[in-house]
């Protein structure tokens, strides 16, 4: 039976990217996924430059630049929904002040393309002050920093998480010539959390503010806030976040990498 050093729960973008990052530093991970098969939720994922830098660090960027996109597919597994109800809700509540041409698009949209997924959110202070690792266990991606989708950074920052986590584990392997489960891994995970928490808390705040100014009404105050303050000053700060470079993975040679996870030997 194959022996794994790490178990990753969830084969989303965070889990899969972390498995790759760990593999690059010589750590074998077993990825567990509760869903039985691949599925599509939503239409697409936008990857900002920070995500491409992370993908480059993971060594997979060349695979994605040649990808062609499959046709959109409706998927809803766990959450029962009625597309007709969603359409009515969109028209009568969310989009009621939109120009009629926009409403016509909603009215004529193909119901088979409607998808529904719950939005998750964690307050930034819970990320900064909360416990994001415990012993040899930590979180990444939405499990660490669920945010509103308005900056399109949830998946991008999950890729950054993977690189940073892989780097701290890789550095530990270089230092000790092997990976030994125990206090040092726990400390490496704490360093990972420390490096990530301010970065992702800032993204949570930015995404929330971006959503708020864009969606919260069309009164004069909101218009002023959106057009004269947010787009003029704040959005350039946000675009710096999209250029964030999470760094590289360390080079772990196979002689560095005599894995030893048996605590009895430590």
Give the residues lining the site for ligand FAD (CB under 6 A).
9-15, 32-35, 42, 45-46, 117, 119, 141-143, 149, 152-156, 158
Choice between 52 and 260, CB closer to ligand FAD = 52
Choice between 142 and 241, CB closer to ligand FAD = 142
Per the structure block, which two tokens stand in for 215? 């969606």
CA separation for the pair 226, 30 (Å, rounded): 46
Minimum distance from residue 239 beta carbon to ligand FAD (Å): 15
Minimum distance from residue 18 beta carbon to ligand FAD (Å): 9
Minimum distance from residue 223 beta carbon to ligand FAD (Å): 24
Choice between 160 and 252, CB closer to ligand FAD = 160
Choice between 42 and 135, CB closer to ligand FAD = 42
Minimum distance from residue 149 beta carbon to ligand FAD (Å): 3
Sequence-distant (6+) residues with CB within 8 A of 61 are: 52, 55
Of 10, 34, 4, 3, the closest CA to residue 162 belongs to: 10
CA separation for the pair 60, 22 (Å, rounded): 13
Q: Is 174 left (phi over 0), alpha (psi -120 to 50) or beta?
A: alpha
Minimum distance from residue 151 beta carbon to ligand FAD (Å): 8
Choice between 14 and 180, CB closer to ligand FAD = 14
Neighbours of 181 (CB within 10 A): 16
């Amino acid at each position: 039976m194959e022996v794994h050093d790490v178990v990753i729960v969830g084969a989303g973008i965070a889990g899969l990217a972390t498995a790759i990052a760990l593999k690059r530093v010589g750590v074998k991970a077993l990825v567990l996924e509760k869903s039985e098969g691949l599925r599509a939720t939503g239409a697409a994922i936008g990857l900002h430059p920070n995500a491409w830098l992370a993908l480059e660090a993971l060594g997979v960027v060349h695979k994605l630049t040649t990808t062609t996109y499959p046709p959109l597919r409706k998927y809803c597994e766990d959450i029962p929904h009625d597309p007709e109800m969603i359409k009515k809700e969109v028209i009568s509540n969310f989009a009621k002040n939109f120009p009629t041409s926009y409403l016509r698009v909603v009215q004529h949209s193909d119901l088979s393309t409607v998808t529904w997924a719950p939005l998750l959110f964690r307050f930034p202070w819970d990320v900064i002050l909360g416990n994001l690792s415990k012993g040899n266990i930590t979180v990444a991606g939405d499990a660490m920093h669920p945010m509103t989708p308005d900056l399109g950074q949830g998946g991008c920052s999950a890729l950054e998480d993977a690189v940073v986590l892989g780097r701290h584990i890789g550095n530990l392997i270089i230092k000790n010539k092997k990976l030994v489960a125990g206090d040092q891994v726990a400390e490496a995970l704490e360093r990972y959390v420390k490096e990530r928490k301010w970065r992702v808390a800032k993204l949570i705040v930015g995404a929330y503010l971006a959503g708020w100014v864009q969606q919260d009404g069309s009164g004069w105050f909101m218009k002023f806030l959106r057009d004269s303050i947010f787009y003029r000053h704040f959005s350039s700060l946000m675009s710096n976040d999209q250029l964030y470079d999470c760094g590289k993975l360390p080079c772990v040679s196979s002689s560095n990498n005599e894995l030893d996870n048996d605590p009895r030997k430590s």
